[in-house]
């Protein structure tokens, strides 16, 4: 689907107690990719490898169709990055901060920076220390946009924000993507935010890619299956992921509800079960946690 603005192929990065294990995914140009996982799943490590802020042991990464090791400086000049923690000179003004950051980019535009300040209601004469957490995050994104990047990489930008501030930021992301040449890689453990704005979703858990696909396809394909304990048999529940069993019944998720139905009806001709839609939060929980029970 169009150009791939990020391509990660077999990325491996080993630490003493954690590793990225040959992960692969891509981000199409002009779309928002939601990068989902629990805290500690490997999101930040992957992003730092993509930006070559840390080196990696094996695999290949291309950003803007360039090898990210050979063209690290060029890539950084064409990409905007916002980390989970933003650090500013708190006593300086918003306008001064823009001038300071702009000195690091060859194609920084003061005029465009001022347009963005007005668009997102940031007062250039206000000191950074007087901004709310939400406004500081907006400032960080505006600073990342001031050189008109082709790709914006955001690492947990909505973490710790109140619902109103988060909603404003999500609207900001959708506004940015209206320019179809731009893409956003947006990592978060808040799946409801990802569900609202992402075109594609990549789920990572314990350094492994669990799923990477178009969001609409994921939401259409994956279903929650519920049935009474009468039908709790190995031949049935082996086709489900994230199996849970209670006093009255059991449940699990599947990406092939039709196949499950055929197998179920074959085993229990007169039996019945329920098929329900599932949200991204429930799917993440079911996919990355060990099943509570096993047949």
Q: Tens digit of pLDDT per residue, the chain (295 long)? A: 458 999 999 999 999 989 999 999 999 998 999 999 888 899 999 999 999 999 999 999 999 999 999 999 999 999 999 988 888 999 999 999 999 999 999 999 999 999 999 988 899 999 999 999 888 988 999 999 999 999 999 998 887 778 888 888 888 888 888 876 789 999 988 888 899 899 999 999 999 999 999 999 999 999 999 999 999 999 888 889 999 998 889 999 999 999 999 999 999 999 999 999 999 999 988 888 754 566 6
What local confidence, expressed as pLDDT, does residue 38 receive? 86
Other residues' Cβ atoms within 10 Å of the Cβ of residue 140:
22
What class has domain 222-288? alpha beta
What residues does 20 pair with on adjacent strands? 13
Please give the pLDDT value at position 181. 77
CA distance 5 to 199: 14
| pLDDT value of residue 295 | 65
Coarse DSSP helix, strand, coil percentages of the chain, rounded to the nearest 5 percent: 35, 30, 35
- What fold, for 4-218? Rossmann fold (3.40.50)
Is residue 186 within 8 Å of 36, Cβ to Cβ?
no
Which of 83, 73, 36 has its CA nearest to residue 52? 73
φ/ψ of 148, rounded to 5, equals 55, 60
Chain centre distance of CA 72 = 22
Under 8 Å between Cβ of 128 and 88: yes
pLDDT, residue 178, reads 80
**How far apart, in Å, are the Cα atoms of 76 and each of 72, 112, 143, 149?**
6, 19, 14, 9
Is this model's pTM higher than 0.85 or not? yes
Q: Is 190 exposed, middle or buried (0-12, 13-18, 19+ CB in 10 A)?
A: middle
Tell me which H or E stretch contains 185: strand 183-188
Residue 28: the pLDDT is: 92
- Residue 259, burial from CB neighbour count under 10 angstroms (0-12, 13-18, 19+): exposed
What was the pLDDT predicted at 292? 59
Residue in the structure block whose two tokens are 């005029």: 111
Give the span between the Cα atoms of 100 and 146, in whole angstroms.
Answer: 12
Task: Locate CATH 3.30.70 in the chain.
Answer: 222-288
| Neighbour tally for 291: CB within 10 Å | 15
């Amino acid at each position: 689907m169009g150009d791939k603005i990020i391509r990660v192929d077999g990325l491996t990065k080993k630490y003493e107690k954690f590793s990225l294990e040959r992960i692969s995914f891509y981000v199409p140009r002009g779309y928002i990719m939601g990068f989902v996982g629990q805290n500690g799943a490997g999101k930040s490590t992957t992003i730092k490898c993509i930006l070559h802020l840390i080196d990696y042991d094996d695999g290949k990464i291309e950003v803007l169709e360039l090898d990210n090791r050979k063209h690290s400086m060029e890539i950084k000049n064409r990409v905007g990055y916002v980390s989970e923690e933003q650090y500013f000179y708190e006593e300086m003004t918003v306008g001064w901060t823009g001038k300071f950051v702009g000195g690091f980019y060859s194609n920084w535009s003061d005029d465009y920076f001022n347009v963005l300040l007005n668009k997102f209601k940031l007062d250039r004469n206000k000191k950074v220390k007087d901004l709310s957490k939400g406004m500081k995050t907006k400032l960080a994104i505006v600073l990342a946009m001031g050189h008109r990047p082709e790709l914006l990489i955001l690492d947990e930008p909505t973490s710790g924000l109140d619902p109103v501030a988060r909603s404003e930021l999500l609207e900001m992301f959708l506004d940015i993507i209206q320019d179809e040449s731009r893409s956003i890689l947006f990592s978060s453990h808040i799946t409801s935010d990802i569900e609202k704005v992402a075109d594609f979703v990549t789920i990572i858990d314990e350094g492994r890619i669990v799923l990477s696909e178009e969001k609409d396809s994921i939401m259409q394909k994956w279903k929650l299956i519920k049935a009474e304990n009468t039908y709790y048999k190995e031949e049935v529940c082996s086709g489900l992921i994230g199996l849970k069993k209670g006093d009255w019944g059991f449940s699990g998720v599947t990406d092939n509800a039709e196949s499950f139905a055929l197998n179920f009806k074959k085993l229990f001709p007169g039996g019945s079960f329920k098929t329900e839609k599932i949200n991204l939060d429930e799917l993440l929980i079911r996919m990355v946690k060990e099943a509570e029970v096993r047949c």
